[in-house]
């Protein structure tokens, strides 16, 4: 979908990598605090900022502790989401 590698948690997109940039789904409540981080910027994949998602440049997750912090924020937000309903299987045409 975003031209990169995406990690899912309980069928929800959590975080991923696009090129060398971390794509973090931080949620609307964490968005402003995450945007205040030095290496974070708005995710504008569609030309419009996606509220609740940020890009983090490589300098912002170059050590394990930094990466673990970003992943923790993402997992916390995704863990607060309601479960996804199973998709109905499409009928098979004979």
Q: What does the pLDDT profile of the chain (94 residues) look like in tens digits?
A: 557 899 999 999 999 999 999 999 999 999 999 999 999 999 987 788 888 999 999 999 999 999 999 999 999 999 999 988 888 888 888 7
Closest Cα partner for 1 from 53, 42, 41, 37? 53
State how beta strands 53-56 and 12-18 pair.
unpaired
What is the reported pLDDT for 62? Answer: 96
What is the reported pLDDT for 2? Answer: 58
How far is Cα 54 from Cα 32, in angstroms, rounded to an integer? Answer: 10
Element (H, E) at 8: strand 5-9
Question: Quick one: tokens of 11?
Answer: 């069928």
What is the reported pLDDT for 21? Answer: 96
What is the reported pLDDT for 79? Answer: 96
DSSP letter for 50, please: -
Question: Quick one: tokens of 91?
Answer: 């009928």
């Amino acid at each position: 979908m975003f031209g990169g590698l995406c990690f899912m948690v309980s069928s929800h997109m959590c975080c991923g990598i696009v090129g060398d940039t971390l794509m973090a789904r931080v949620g609307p409540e964490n968005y402003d605090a995450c945007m205040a981080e030095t290496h974070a910027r708005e995710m504008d994949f569609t030309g419009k900022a996606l509220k609740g998602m940020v890009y983090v440049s490589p300098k912002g997750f170059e050590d394990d502790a930094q990466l673990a912090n970003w992943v923790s924020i993402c997992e916390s937000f995704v863990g607060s989401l309601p479960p996804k309903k199973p998709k109905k299987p499409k009928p098979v045409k004979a």
